[in-house]
Structure 1
Amino acid sequence: MSNNVDKQQQLLDRADIRVKHEDGIGGAISAFLDRVRSGDLGALPVVVGLVLIWTVFATLNPIFLSSTNLVNLLFDSSTVGVIALGVVLMLMVGEIDLSIGSVSGFASALLGVLWVNHGWPVPLAILGALAVGGLIGYVYAQLYNRFGMPSFVATLAGLLAVLGLQLYILGGTGSINLPYGSPLVDFGQLLTMPQPIAHGLAAIPGIAMLVTGYRTAARRRAAGLSAKSLGGVLFFAVVVTLGLELGVAYLNTSRGVPWMFALFVLLVVGMNYALTRTQWGRSMTAVGGNREAARRAGINVKAIYTSAFVCCSMFAALGGMLAASRLASASQQAGTGDVNLNAIAAAVIGGTSLFGGRGSAYSALLGIIVIQSIANGLTLLDLSSSLRYMITGGVLAIAVIVDSLARRSRVMHGRA
């Protein structure tokens, strides 16, 4: 009898030690490793991949990690990155939009026509192109919701139709040059953030992590639940802040942080908040995870699909206009080539699941930096663009394999 009591006391002591351990920084790291083992990889694979890519290219050409080259990389990442943000929303509900490239090209052409040819003020021309992009997405949603047309077919038809509209409004010239020296073109090519503003904004994520972590821990403790220690929250907040501040300081040795990239990050942060902190975002996840269960739970499934289609097309239109400002022109080639593939690949490589119901707005940010790093590094090495397609395709395949294996691991862990 006494032996049993002693064994029970030993188990309680060990459990108490584990609880104390989980309250510290080591506990936070241990919890992270437990999530990884259970298949919840988060952004870990893409971060590891990005480190490897940067290490290889920096070894082959030291210019790759120069501050000047990284500033150009951020400029180039912003345009397709905004488009990829819309793709994340479509993948979250388990659907796809194949017309994002055509919509982006059409929006850039419409911007040029309204602004240069018809003399509209730039803000009105931008709003007009965004409105048309939203209308295109609404048409897709109606084809999907009312007629049951698969998103693959609806957006494939839209790809052809919108491309035809782009060629039609551009006319025989085939291109429209945007005025050099205009605020929009300067925004896409030259404008960077003042150093104090850049450093101030770099401190915000760490502060937000600290405040959010503290409030969440306080609520969980008040409810009698286990919570992360403030030491662990503070540790990760300090690491993030130091990393961002050092990055900003390094970029400031050249031109600084582009305003266009800051806009992209702002959109990512805003969409991440919408997906994680609002009823709409939770509904998006629920619909993508199980449409019928979401409908029975009282979610307006058709409205969720409509919002995904509309937002995706509007992000594509915005990305197309940013690309036009970057190139100072709107042409028949805008939105063609690998824009479609890069935007979709960025969302998937960044960690958004092809199976629906799992993803993050930060997928677009991480994924497009990976793709643009590959393109940039190969350009510096003066290698053929054929290698860029092959390497990007390989990275995309690896990302899908990792997603499939992680999904299988989560299912097995859940059954256990």
Structure 2
Amino acid sequence: MSDLAKTPADGTPETAPETPADGTPETAPTGSTAPATATVPEQRTPAVDPRLLVREEGFMGYWTEFGRKIRGGELGSLPVILGLIVIAIVFQLQNDNFLSAGSVANIAVYASGLGIMAVGIVFVLVLGEIDLSMGSVAGVGAAVWAGLQVSNGVNEWVSLLAAVLTGTAIGALHGFFFAKIGVPAFVVTLAGFLGWMGMQEWLMGGEGSINTPSGSVVESLTSYFFADRIAAYGLALAAIAVYVFFQLRERARRHTARLPARPVGEILLRTGVFAVLVLVVAYVMNEPAGARGLPLALVLFLAVLVCADFVARRTVFGRKVFAVGGNAEAARRAGINVDGVRIAVFAVSGTLAAFGGLFVASLSGGATKSLGGGNTLMLVIAAAVIGGTSLFGGRGKVWSALLGMIVIQSIQQGLNMIGMSNSIQNMITGAVLLAAVVIDSVSRRTQKTAGRA
């Protein structure tokens, strides 16, 4: 039998496949007489970052994205900003001096001390915990400063440093009992609230109050104003330059990593909005009748905010804080020292509480046995929550301390100007706090429904 043809059972010879002219054998079809068709691999569309699609659509893209976030419960700082606008309009209609230079300066000065304390509570809330000892720690810090500088003649800078470090040590102690011993933060800080209040009274001794020395650093914290216009506008221009630098630096970093980055046009738009805000503040503080200049207290408050925001968003420690606040067990399995993060966060809270207590002492004219008492703690927590920090942990921004404290101080300033009593002020502040928590709860529920929690 030939190798070129084989005879099947029916006797019909099977013809061998023909060889093309180029000598390449043609492959015979298998299993079917239909011609074989080559399988074309499915073309997959590469994933595109949604932010690029939004930017490609221009203004309508941003508007569509804004609507999507609102429907999904991602409200951000929008309720606070709208609330501030409503507050300004209502009180300005009631009293023409509400938005005057003097009134705005008072709001800024009174917001600074408690606002610095609120920055500390933001870190604790992001961790998913609470610190009820803020007011007492502020009082102890002020008592340490007054006892060292005024009563014992210690150098004022040494006294200030000792006061702040006392707050750091107290906060770290709270964190140790919480993280290492396992005592709930609520119980630890509640015990601290009572214990440090007693320590404050003991440090003050028989003195009901220790007055702030004239011309001292503590007195200047809330009484000094940069009367020179160059200082205010220079700081404003410096802030704009720093903002542009970090925006361009972030854009270059993302380009290097081949990640989506903001286009130059968007950076210019953001810079323009930021520039208008800071220049308006500089103008209001310097130009209108009755203006005293830029308050030192506001400058220090903003400096604390910038530093804290950098730590929270640009450092490994900040990312660890959010990771632990979001899911402590997952953070532990990822190799994060959860106990160390918790101790550090409470140390930060104590540090800022003591520092803020010096501002409160400056405003009240000295350290007293009751400094940090009353509604101090409630105002600090309310500022963080009203500003947008979640009570449920894992979500919040340092700048919420600024927004929330401005809301609270604006309400108090406006009610004082129209002659409302403190009882009415507390009721309204409580209602605003409740509204903020309700908005936060509804927002989280909406995000879970939309699958973005």
Say which SS state the counterpart of residue 367 (structure 2) adopts: strand
CA–CA separation in structure 1 for the residues paired with 2:248 and 2:298 = 29
Correspondence for 2:373: 336
Q: How many residues align?
A: 403
CA–CA separation in structure 2 for the residues paired with 1:302 and 1:188 = 37
CA–CA separation in structure 2 for the residues paired with 1:207 and 1:127 = 31
- Counterpart check, 1:101 vs 2:135: yes
Say which SS state the counterpart of residue 353 (structure 1) adopts: coil
Equivalent pair of 1:24/1:232 in contact (CA under 8 Å):
no
Correspondence for 1:52: 86
CA–CA separation in structure 2 for the residues paired with 1:265 and 1:91 = 20
Q: Which range is displaced more, 223-232 or 146-155? A: 223-232
CA–CA separation in structure 1 for the residues paired with 2:111 and 2:58 = 38
Gaps of at least 5 residues in structure 1 are 1-17
Deviation at 1:188, TM superposition (A): 1.9
CA–CA separation in structure 1 for the residues paired with 2:311 and 2:281 = 27
Equivalent pair of 1:141/1:306 in contact (CA under 8 Å):
yes
Deviation at 1:225, TM superposition (A): 4.8
Deviation at 1:219, TM superposition (A): 4.8
Say which SS state the counterpart of residue 156 (structure 1) adopts: helix
Task: Work out which of the residue numbers 322, 326, 346 in structure 2 matches 1:289.
Answer: 326
Go from structure 1 to structure 2 and tell me whether the alpha carbon gap of 1:195 and 1:314 turns closer, same or farther (over 3 Å shift).
same
Larger of the two Rg values belongs to structure:
2
Give deviations 1:189-235, integer Å, cap 9, x for gaps.
Answer: 23336322222322344444444444444554565554433212211
Equivalent pair of 2:147/2:204 in contact (CA under 8 Å):
yes
CA–CA separation in structure 2 for the residues paired with 1:214 and 1:364 = 26
Task: Work out which of the residue numbers 188, 192, 210 in structure 2 matches 1:176.
Answer: 210
Correspondence for 1:10: none
Go from structure 1 to structure 2 and tell me whether the alpha carbon gap of 1:219 and 1:37 turns closer, same or farther (over 3 Å shift).
farther
Task: Work out which of the residue numbers 106, 110, 119 in structure 1 matches 2:153.
Answer: 119
Say which SS state the counterpart of residue 181 (structure 1) adopts: coil
CA RMSD of superposed structures (Å): 2.3
The one-letter code of the counterpart of 1:102 is: S
The one-letter code of the counterpart of 1:131 is: L
Give deviations 1:349-403, integer Å, cap 9, x for gaps.
Answer: 0111101011111011111111111111111111111111111111111111111
Correspondence for 1:130: 164
CA–CA separation in structure 1 for the residues paired with 2:139 and 2:355 = 10
The one-letter code of the counterpart of 2:396 is: G
Say which SS state the counterpart of residue 228 (structure 1) adopts: coil
Between 1 and 2, higher relative CO (CA 8 Å, sep ≥ 6) is seen in 1
Q: Which range is displaced more, 244-253 or 156-165? A: 244-253
- Counterpart check, 1:369 vs 2:406: yes
- Counterpart check, 1:191 vs 2:228: no
Matches within 5 A, 1:208-357: 208-220=242-254, 225-253=259-287, 254-357=291-394
CA–CA separation in structure 2 for the residues paired with 1:187 and 1:194 = 17
Correspondence for 1:15: none
The one-letter code of the counterpart of 1:187 is: L
Task: Work out which of the residue numbers 164, 170, 195 in structure 1 matches 2:198.
Answer: 164
The one-letter code of the counterpart of 1:331 is: T
CA–CA separation in structure 2 for the residues paired with 1:394 and 1:63 = 25
CA–CA separation in structure 1 for the residues paired with 2:428 and 2:294 = 28
CA–CA separation in structure 2 for the residues paired with 1:139 and 1:235 = 46
Give deviations 1:320-340, integer Å, cap 9, x for gaps.
Answer: 111112222111121111100
Equivalent pair of 2:243/2:271 in contact (CA under 8 Å):
yes
Equivalent pair of 1:180/1:328 in contact (CA under 8 Å):
no
Q: Which range is displaced more, 295-304 or 319-328? A: 319-328
Gaps of at least 5 residues in structure 2 are 1-51
Q: Which range is displaced more, 102-111 or 292-301? A: 102-111
Say which SS state the counterpart of residue 395 (structure 2) adopts: coil
CA–CA separation in structure 2 for the residues paired with 1:48 and 1:59 = 17
Correspondence for 2:98: 64
- Counterpart check, 1:400 vs 2:437: yes
CA–CA separation in structure 1 for the residues paired with 2:227 and 2:447 = 42
Deviation at 1:72, TM superposition (A): 1.3
Say which SS state the counterpart of residue 87 (structure 1) adopts: helix
Equivalent pair of 2:54/2:65 in contact (CA under 8 Å):
no
Say which SS state the counterpart of residue 74 (structure 2) adopts: coil
Q: Percent identity at matched positions?
A: 41
Correspondence for 1:38: 72
Deviation at 1:21, TM superposition (A): 5.8
CA–CA separation in structure 2 for the residues paired with 1:215 and 1:412 = 37
The one-letter code of the counterpart of 1:413 is: A
